[in-house]
Amino acid sequence: MSKLGRVVSRVGGVLLFIAVVGGSGFWLFHSSGTSQVSVKTLNPVRMTIEQKTTATGQIVPSKKVKIKSQANGVLEEILVKPGQWVKQGDLIAHIRLRADPVEINNAQSQINKARLEFQRTAAELERRQRLHQQGLISDAAFQDDRLKFDVNRSSLEQAERDLELRMKGASQQFKTTSTNITATVDGMVLERPVEIGDFIIKANDLSEGTTVVTIADMHSLMFKGEAEEMDAGRLYEGMPLAVSVGALPEESFEATLESIAPEARKTEQGRVVFEIRAAIQPKEGVFLRAGYSATAQIVFARHDHVLTIPEGNLLFHDHEPYVRVEVSPGQIVDRKLTTGLSDGLNIEVSSGLSEQDRVVILQAAEAS
């Protein structure tokens, strides 16, 4: 190749390099410029903002009674089963008495004491009667002696009936029996923890006694749950609650807060909680079972149809909230706001924006 050809070739290479570099720079410049001026925006919307909390718990009867025996014995027959409705006085079960040796001994001691006192007053009455016949004592004094005799005779008869009751379970004179166990309230049988042949112990100072059945008023149910310490101070009796039950996902029940525990307790996880109870409004055709897991929504504040934006788009300067608003393509300004109620996701805007404003959506890095 000639010298002129080599010069032309070098000049062409230099020009090609300049063109490539220049084109790349032009492309990068315009790409960078586009990313800087292109922003995403949203318009404020009107919606309902609620400030609320959630309490977890379960459905429980407002009244639950444990039916126990009045005597010790062995369960001989049981006449009800869980889920059955009963009325006060209905027969629940029969027991075969099993006398307590200590009680039998005490009853016999009472009889011996009452018999001795009766014999003493009988002999005294006989002596006083002779004196009365001789006119040595007044009618009133003799009547007092007869009254003492009648009282001691009644005490002896009562002690004998008590021993009979403990030995046989029945008093022949009054036709009462302790072998029958009856319902003390109206309601549904929830639990029957005993079976035929089980020993039944009556309630006394040293023992709660054996529960034969548990009866509850299933027409009056409550939500029993736990409120967090930070929420307890905002609760008050009469607050409305919305209760949802896991087993009935299609249903929601209205409830009214009736009590907040005066004392907190710690859970196994170390949380400080307060027990709450709320009366549930029943629904016709819907049966709630005791023990269902449930969740209650408690609304502390509610603002309807207010202007809102996602709370994540707020910025702060000296603790004053503001947002960035695109007033025209490529022109962004800061706009101070007055905010109101927040639900943790959206926040009420009381002043500073309209529904036509285009609020810049912040990227995560910018928001932080």
Using one digit for the tens of pLDDT, what is the confidence trace for 213-226?
999 999 999 999 99
Two tokens, residue 57: 């718990």
Of the ranges 73-77, 83-87, 130-134, the best mean pLDDT one? 83-87
What average pLDDT does the chain have? 84
Angstrom distance (rounded) from CA 223 to CA 259:
11
Give me the domains of the chain, ranges plus CATH numbers: 41-50+303-367 (2.40.420.20), 54-62+218-301 (2.40.30.170), 64-216 (2.40.50.100)
**Mean pLDDT, rounded, for 226-237:** 92
More confident residue, 169 or 175: 169
> Helix/strand/coil (H, E, C) string of 37-89?
HCCCEECCEEEEEEEEEEEEEEEEECCEEEEECCCCEEEEEECCCCCCEECCC
State the pTM of this model.
0.62
Angstrom distance (rounded) from CA 104 to CA 354:
89
Place of tokens 């040796």: 101
Residue 221 CB-half CA count within 13 A: 24
Two tokens, residue 249: 């996902």
CA angle 49, 54, 58 (to 5 degrees): 145
Two tokens, residue 197: 């042949």
Angstrom distance (rounded) from CA 259 to CA 279:
10
User: What share of the chain in percent tops pLDDT 90?
Assistant: 56
Two tokens, residue 335: 């706009």
